Structure formats: structure tokens, C-alpha cells
Amino acid sequence: MSLDAAMSIKTARKARLTGRGFRIRWILASAAGMAVAAAAARPLSYVVGEGVGGLLGEVPAEAAIGAVAGGGVLGGIALAQWLLLRRMVPWAGRWPVAGALAGANAAAAGFVAFKALSPAGYEAAGAVAAILCGLAAFLAAHWLVLRLHVSRAGWLAASSAGGFLLAAVVTTAAASVAGVEGGGALFATLFGALYGAVTVVALERLSVIEA
């Protein structure tokens, strides 16, 4: 492939990943993916957790619940995003894998960290440990999947983790203000839209850098 042809391909990818139309479709796909994935992953996580708990105990059960729920919802969002990304970048097939593994690892690590400290009366420390351990697990898994295929895989992983944290904080706060539980379809849709808004900005920035 000639240099001019390669530059043309990169320019086309940049245009498609930075356009307003792509940004809107990405956010809508993320919201829909989260709504569908959450509806399926949450009930399944409790079924799996109950089975694991009966065999291995309470802490492994919490890890299993976190892995299925976290991996399911972020994998579902990433799969919906992949439908838009698949013809634009050569590493698109790894995007759902990165999302699913990052979500599973983060939730499992966070649940276990909180469960290990909260029974001893350290609820606040458990919450902090859950966030830190979950964040580290998210970054490690996301980066490992994309590191050989994306020039700034660590930055993209950090942006995705930031989107996850932002979406979690906003939906939790919104549910608290509304006086309802945050596990409904409306809050799942809001979570997906916020996560999508952050990740699409990250992709836009990545496309500018790589173009």
C-alpha cells in the first residue's frame, strides 16, 4: 500500500470517528446496549452467585456476582458499540472483549475488597478499597487486550474507566435524589449514555492522534 493510500485511509477513519453523526449514534447505541445487557446480566449474576456460594462460600459468590454483572453490562455496551466500530478500525473485534474483561475484573475485585473489609467494621475503608481495586483491575484488563493494537491503549483504558466511574456516580446520585433504586431500565439507559459520551470523546481524540 502506498503512503498516499495509507494516509487516505487514516483520514477517512478520522472523519468517521469524529463526526457529530457518529457521536450521536455511539451514545444511543451505548444507552441501548446497557439497557438490554443490564436486564439480562443482573438476574444471571445472582443465579451464578448462588451456585458458586453453595460450593465455595460467600466471598467467591460475591466475586462471581460481580464478574457476571460487570462483565455482562460493559460487554453488552461494548458489543453495541462494536456494531458501529467494526468497519472503522482493525482492532474493533477486541473492543467488546476489552469491555467485558475490564468490567468483570473490576466488579469482581471491587466486590471482594469490600466484602473482605466491611464485616470487620471498616465500611468506609472497604468502599475505598473497592474503588481502587476495581479501577486497577479494569485498567489492567482493558490495557492487556488492546495494548498491541492501539497506540495509546493505556490512555484509552483510563478514559473508559473514567466513563464507568462518572456513569456510576451520576446514576447513583440521580437515583438517590429521585428516591428510588438505581437498577431500573431508565438508570441503565442513563449509565450507558454517559459511558458512551466519555468513550466516544476518547475515540475522537485517539483518531486525531493516529491520523
Tell which wins on pLDDT, 13 or 68. 68
Tell which wins on pLDDT, 34 or 9. 34
pLDDT of residue 211: 37
pLDDT of residue 163: 92
pLDDT of residue 142: 95
Contacting residues for 135 by C-beta, under 8 A, at least 6 apart:
106, 161, 165
pLDDT of residue 43: 76
pLDDT of residue 183: 64
Q: How far apart are CA 90 and CA 23, in angstroms?
A: 19
49: phi then psi, degrees, rounded to nearest 5? -60, -40
Q: How far apart are CA 134 and CA 67, in angstroms?
A: 11
pLDDT of residue 31: 94
pLDDT of residue 121: 65
**Tens digit of each residue's pLDDT (9 = 90 or more) over 166-175:** 988 898 888 8
Tell me the helices (H) and strands (E) count for the chain, helix number first. 7, 0
Q: What's the mean pLDDT in 24-34?
A: 94
**Tens digit of each residue's pLDDT (9 = 90 or more) over 94-145:** 999 999 999 998 888 887 887 777 766 667 777 888 888 889 999 999 999 9
Q: Do 107 and 69 contact (CB within 8 A), yes or no?
A: yes
Q: Can you read off the three cell numbers belonging to residue 184?
A: 431500573
**Tens digit of each residue's pLDDT (9 = 90 or more) over 189-208:** 999 999 999 999 988 887 64
Distance of CA 47 to the CA centre of its chain: 22
**Tens digit of each residue's pLDDT (9 = 90 or more) over 58-89:** 777 777 877 888 888 899 999 999 999 888 88
pLDDT of residue 30: 95
